[in-house]
Amino acid sequence: MSDPFFKIVLHAPEIPGNTGSIGRTCLALNAELILIKPYGFDISEKAVRRAGLDYWKHVTLKEYDHWEHFLSVEKPEMNQVMLFENGAGKAWHEAPYKKGCYLVFGGETRGIPQRILDANPASFFSFPQYSNHIRSLNLSNIATAAAFECVRQINP
């Protein structure tokens, strides 16, 4: 695979099927998948492989022990990092997508830790939710939506 167009970062993912599906999207769009521990599952779980089908072995994957480990190794400029979480004042399509950027999503029930959001308010984006009957959108769905918007904007 050539250099990835962008990277999807999952901070403490909890559901193996979502991680597998996002990995499959990464492979389709020439994106790298970055996982930040702790996970709510074993990365070798059958559910991850099932969602990623036989493509999982081809996913470009990196793992980090915690957020600070990710920052120290990847060294992203914060204007390249987009944090997606409920309640942001800026919409997902307003994010400054560009080649090499990082699309960051939190775990399914916990989201991105508040300390990370507080430290990076300019990098905080969300997807609209017009119903009071749901708390959040499916992680795999929003990661895929953001990934395709990134591809549309960078036009590789």
56-94 pLDDT tens trace: 888 999 999 999 999 999 999 989 999 999 887 799 999
In this predicted model, what pLDDT tens digit does every residue of 85-96 receive, in sequence order?
988 779 999 999
Return the SS3 of 17: helix
Looking at residues 120-142, what average pLDDT do you find?
Answer: 92
The bridge status of strand 102-106 relative to strand 61-64 is unpaired
Q: Is the separation of the CB atoms in 127 and 89 below 8 Å?
A: no
Q: Is the separation of the CB atoms in 65 and 42 below 8 Å?
A: no
Q: In the block, which residue shows the tokens 């480990």?
A: 69
The Cα–Cα gap between 142 and 22 comes to 10
Could you tell me which residue, 42 or 96, shows the higher pLDDT?
A: 96
Tell me the whole-structure pTM to 2 decimals: 0.93
- What pLDDT is stored for residue 48 in this prediction? 66
- What pLDDT is stored for residue 17 in this prediction? 86
The Cα–Cα gap between 117 and 58 comes to 31
Looking at residues 106-135, what average pLDDT do you find?
Answer: 93
- On the CB side of 112, how many CA atoms lie within 13 Å of its CA? 25
- What pLDDT is stored for residue 1 in this prediction? 55
Looking at residues 42-53, what average pLDDT do you find?
Answer: 66
The bridge status of strand 90-91 relative to strand 61-64 is unpaired
The backbone torsions φ and ψ at residue 144, rounded to the nearest 5 degrees and listed phi first, read -70, -45
Topology annotation, domain 6-154: Alpha/beta knot (3.40.1280)
